[in-house]
Amino acid sequence: MHAPDNYSLHSYGRMITDRTRSQPFVDALRRLIRPESVVLEIGTGAGYFALLCAHLGASRIYAVEPDNAIEVAKLCARDAADGERIVWIKGLSTAIDLPEKVDIVLGDLHGTLPFYNHNIEAMVDARHRHLKDAGLIVPMRDVLRVVPAQAPHEYAAVEAPWNANPEGLNLHAGRTFVANQWWRARIEPARSEDFLSTPAEWGVIDYRTVTSPDLDCSLQWTVQRRGTMHGYYVWFDGELCDGVGYSNAPDLPELVYGRAFFPLERHTDVVPGDRIDTRFSTRILDERHLFRWNTRITDQQGNTKAECKQSTFQSRPIVRDELQRAATDHIPHLSTDGRIDQMILNEMARSRPLTEIADALAEAYPGHFDDASKVMQRVAKLSLKYSRPARGPDDH
């Protein structure tokens, strides 16, 4: 995994018990695992699929996870008959080297959409550095789909409390920011009769060949049903191997991933024959996925009924002080917190024990910390972030 996913152990459990999601992975692994198979699992979480690969007879499994949930996986492996075949690696898959190439790269790195953290890059990296030339990658591909929809229950988040609230306060300025966000749609399946046209394919992420996490495509629909367009449902159909897959389509029972809703800046009444032209794109900006969805709705005579240019870049207000401090000609000066962190890192570079660093810090900044425990917490926090992990007797 490229970055910590911030899942809880409860979240990992939900992913396992969601059989609509996990059963296709089980079916694919049963089909693909051979006695000689060497497997790399990225984002193993609590180790369910790694343990399954061992149970299915894989000769060796490298299970990688940056979260502390991997410690639970290790405990589970101690009670498993085949657990000794698993090599547990705490860290990021993009930062590790393996002693051998693997036959299968496995990684369920999805969020609501496949663009979660930098997980496409993580799969690309694993394919390039760790997978044999004739190796397999699971999932094999994701197909992104979009449909314009009538969804007043979703659009309510754009209108309230920004356009109207019980106290009659003027919160209109907040509406624009909300309208430029997308969110996980409600748990109840959408009604297919609220789809204003047929779904269109946004693009395909083929993990066997993809090189970039960016996706940009122009989509067109002819409206088939009269209604009010509130936005778009967006989802992916996952193909794990030939004939095995799943979908988080909005009109199906919800998967653990959920499904996405992208609102229209201004809801618009449409009738059959109207045309919807949309450009959907995502690209990496400042370590995050920036989404754009520009829409033009015209009637049968070509008259424009609505035109919206939306982007998650516009979902947060601009803080001018932050812009100034990030400008190329800005001359930075360390704050007190910056000087404290600098001192801790300098002392860490000298390989001093944490207690000595904490004592030196308390002496250098008297009165800055409430008590000695706060000093040690500050030092330990940076140690956890920047010091190399100690290797224990159970580490491989």
User: pLDDT tens-digit profile of 31-56?
Assistant: 999 999 999 999 999 999 999 999 99
Q: Which residue has the tokens 């309230």?
A: 160
Q: Give the mean model confidence (pLDDT) for residues 311-325.
A: 85
Please compute, for residue 168, the number of CA atoms within 13 A of its CA located in the half-sphere on the CB side.
0
Mean pLDDT of the chain: 92
How far, in Å, are 11, 261, 395 from residue 390 at the CA level?
28, 44, 10
The pLDDT, as a whole number, for residue 77 is 93
Q: Give the mean model confidence (pLDDT) for residues 220-229.
A: 98
The pLDDT, as a whole number, for residue 6 is 55
* 292, 279 contact by CB (below 8 A): yes
Q: Is the peptide bond before 189 cis (omega within 30 degrees of 0)?
A: no
Q: Is the peptide bond before 139 cis (omega within 30 degrees of 0)?
A: yes
The pLDDT, as a whole number, for residue 390 is 65
- Which is higher by pLDDT, 359 or 117? 359
5 has a pLDDT exceeding 70:
no
pTM over 0.85: yes
Contacts of 112 (CB under 8 A, 6+ apart): 184, 248, 257, 258, 259, 260
- Token pair of 383 as six digits: 């140690």
Question: Exposed, middle or buried, 70 (CB in 10 Å: 0-12/13-18/19+)?
Answer: buried
Name residue 294's beta-bridge partners.
279, 309
How far, in Å, are 26, 57, 117, 123, 234 from residue 129 at the CA level?
25, 24, 20, 10, 32
The pLDDT, as a whole number, for residue 393 is 44
Instruction: Please state, in angstroms and rounded to a whole number, the distance separating the CA atoms of residues 286 and 269.
Output: 36
In this structure, the strands spanning 275-285 and 215-222 are antiparallel
The pLDDT, as a whole number, for residue 391 is 60
Query: Which value, in Å, is the radius of gyration of the alpha carbons in the chain?
Result: 25
2 has a pLDDT exceeding 70:
no
The pLDDT, as a whole number, for residue 81 is 81
65 has a pLDDT exceeding 60:
yes
211 has a pLDDT exceeding 80:
yes
3 has a pLDDT exceeding 70:
no
